[in-house]
Amino acid sequence: MKYRRFEDLPVWKDAIELAVRTFALTANPCFRGHAGTRNQLENAVVSISNNIAEGFERGTTNELLNFLYISRGSAGETRSMYCLIERLPEFHDLRSEISDLKSKAESISRQLRAWADSLQNTDIRGTRYLTDQSRRIDKQRQEREEFLAELEQIRNRKK
């Protein structure tokens, strides 16, 4: 499936959900004495979705890959911050929630890694390099694949 907007990407949606849940967590009164930690965590978690969006909008596969790795680094930083706060005594009552958020950040990191791996093994240079001719060829290829899939469905129904 091709995504035309970063807002449609499942990993971006997961990153936004993680940010919303993190901001709900950092609104907790136990963060009052930890303004620096709160700010660092909020900045790191927002960086995940922002770098996905920025890389997607750049228009080249190489730039997208670069931003996916930056985003993955921010997911790691977010997990590290969760590891820290779950060990602090004042956050003891939030350990279950922090553990869930840490797992979500790890899932996002895995998704980013898989996406980056798939991009590294492609000949697609990115939308910035598309021409009318390459678009036409891609559309013909897609139509051919859809036609062949439809033929296969017809053959399977006859069996």
pLDDT digits (tens, 9 = 90+) for 88-141: 999 999 999 999 999 999 999 999 999 999 888 766 554 544 556 666 776 787
36 located within any domain: yes
Q: Contact, 55 vs 64, CB < 8 A?
A: yes
Cα–Cα distance measured from residue 63 to residue 156, given in angstroms and rounded to the nearest whole number:
42
Residue identified by tokens 């499936």 is 1
The reply to whether 137 and 109 lie within a common domain is: no
Residue 1, domain member (yes or no) = no
Q: In this structure, are residues 29 and 13 in contact, taking their beta carbons and an 8 Å threshold?
A: no
Give me the CATH number covering residue 110.
Answer: 1.20.1440.60
Looking at the structure of the chain, the number of domains it has is 2
Alpha carbons 153 and 147: distance in angstroms, whole number: 10
Whether residue 90 is contained in a domain is answered as: yes
The closest alpha carbon to 36, from 81, 69, 86, 94, belongs to: 81
pLDDT mean over 69-95 = 97
- 26-55 confidence digits (pLDDT tens): 999 999 999 999 999 999 999 999 999 999
86 and 134 part of one domain: no
Indicate whether this model's pTM tops 0.85: no
Predicted pLDDT of residue 123 = 61
Same domain flag for 84 and 158? no
